[in-house]
A and B are shown apart, each in its own frame.
Chain A
Amino acid sequence: MLADIAAVAGKDLRIEWRSRVTASQVIPFAALVLVLFGFALDANRPVLERATPGLFWMTVLFVTNLAVQRSTSIETSDGARRALLLAGIEPVAVFVGKALAVAVELLAVEIVLVGGVLVFYGAEIDDWGLLVLTCVVATMAVAAAGTLLGALVAGIRARETVLPILLLPVLAPVLISATRAFDDALGSVAVQGWAWLGLLAGFGVLNSGLGALAYGVLLEET
């Protein structure tokens, strides 16, 4: 199982590395969104500081949509999904491998975004541990849900437009929890950040569990 997970994740990351889509398109897109949010709110600096955690995670959700679209299209473009079924590889391993690859790409984007909010928004970080753990846990939750929904829409012709309609509401609890935890990590609002991180971990486990259970069915049926 671990070897299969490593094979799938390694394959997706190698494709990403070769195509440079994350580096040349996704990261610039994320930086643009962050800068434009900044332009929109810059006239009111306190509002920008207060909204920084939410803007950060909204940007991550937009990027997630792109990363999941890309991850899904890798398998749908030339019948690779069918070949995965024929290979007999466990669907759970495909799910975990693909979710891991999406998570790695998102974490790379988040590193750039953290730099962006420090430089462009003038944010200051009070609790690095909370910030890093929130990024890791929220990213896993987002990647798991995204990978599952990507498989759900894989057989739909208009999947590029259907995916965000499904993805954004499903990820709303993650957005809220991660934003609250970031509020504490950035010191912008006095909240119990670690408690929100615990809730976030619960969403992560839920999304991953659902994905592990349902991905095989979706791989068969879509």
Chain B
Amino acid sequence: MAIISLTGVVALLGRFPGLAGVDLTVEAGEVVLIHGPNGAGKSTLLRVCAGLLRIESGHGQVLGHDVRSERPAIRRSVGLLGHDTALYEDLTVTENLRFWARASRVEEAQVPTALDRLGVPSRIHDVAVRHLSAGQRRRTALAAVVVRRPRLWLLDEPHAGLDAGGRDLVDALVKDASSAGATVMLASHELDRTVDLATRHLAVAGGMVVGDHGPEVDHAR
């Protein structure tokens, strides 16, 4: 079953074409690594798949919802980790995750479990986010995605700012999500780290998919 199905999708960032005609089909359970140079369109592709960015032309579906007319339904079903952490600086770690759980109609009881899963120590659960390090914020933001239990994970540079332990946790998270039947789209520059994590590699450049192959090709390189 196709989780993502895009045909000729063009999306603008202002007047600049962020995506310039993307055709893409992603099946359930796939872990797709998106790589390419800065400005290639990796984050834009993730934003279109999250229902955050309106498309100018083309058509498609994400999780069975139309990417033009059913963006709110798409947004409710995906988990996106972007460059921002979407955390409120003056709220504690727990307060942030409880708010996002409540807003997403998810049981707040899952918050401690998600924080444990991301290795966020209990001593900082009641600390305001403004006092956390960049890595701790990143882990907390990932925990907010975990709490949602999405069917489609969209991770933009998930290893950025994390220490070695945090990076291993992200890898484990991706593997577990895939094992549980979820689909993962992962944008990363760290090919060495992610080459074995993904079941499929997409090379993106100039807003288009210029390569689509299994991990063995990048291994050989």
Contact = CB atoms under 8 A, between A and B. Distances in A.
Interface of A: 3-4, 7-8, 11, 14-15, 18-19, 74, 77-80, 82-89
Contact of B95 (A3, A14, A74, A79): A14
B213 interface: no
Given A18-B90, A18-B91, A84-B103, A79 B75 contact: no
Interface stretch (B77-85, B116-124, B164-172): B77-85
A82 B100 contact: no
Contacts of A85: 52, 72, 75
Interface of B: 50, 52, 72, 75-76, 78, 80, 82-91, 95, 99-100, 102-105, 128, 144
Contacts of A82: 52, 80, 82, 84, 86
B52 A74 contact: no
A11 B85 contact: no
A79 B84 contact: yes
Given A14-B95, A83-B100, A86-B52, A78 B76 contact: no
Nearest to B137: A78
Given A4-B103, A7-B99, A79-B82, A88 B72 contact: yes
Contact of A88 (B76, B83, B99): B76
Majority secondary structure, A binding face: helix
- Which of B72, B75, B90, B91 has the most chain A CB atoms inside 10 A of its CB? B90
A85 B75 CA distance: 7
B78 A86 contact: yes
A77 B52 contact: no
Contacts of A89: 103-104
A78 B52 contact: no
A19 B91 CA distance: 10
A78 B89 contact: yes
Nearest to A12: B88
Contacts, number: 68
Contacts of A15: 88, 90-91
B151 to A, nearest CB: 14
Those 4 A-B pairs whose CB atoms lie nearest each other, nearest first = A79-B84, A83-B86, A88-B76, A87-B103
A20 B218 CA distance: 53
B50 A86 contact: yes
A89 B72 CA distance: 10
A7 B102 contact: yes
A85 B104 CA distance: 10
B91 A14 contact: yes
Contacts of B95: 11, 14
Given A11-B99, A86-B50, A18 B128 contact: yes
Nearest to A79: B84
B85 A79 contact: yes
Contacts of A79: 82-86
B80 A86 contact: yes
Given A78-B84, A79-B82, A79-B85, A87 B100 contact: yes
B153 to A, nearest CB: 12
Contacts of A74: 88
- Which of B52, B100, B128 has the most chain A CB atoms inside 10 A of its CB? B100
A89 B100 CA distance: 10
A88 to B, nearest CB: 4
A86 B103 CA distance: 9
- Which of B88, B89, B91, B100 has the most chain A CB atoms inside 10 A of its CB? B88
A86 B85 CA distance: 13
Contacts of B86: 78-80, 82-83
A88 B104 contact: yes
Given A15-B90, A78-B87, 14 more contacts: A7-B99, A14-B90, A15-B88, A77-B89, A78-B84, A78-B86, A79-B86, A80-B87, A82-B52, A83-B86, A85-B72, A86-B75, A88-B72, A89-B104
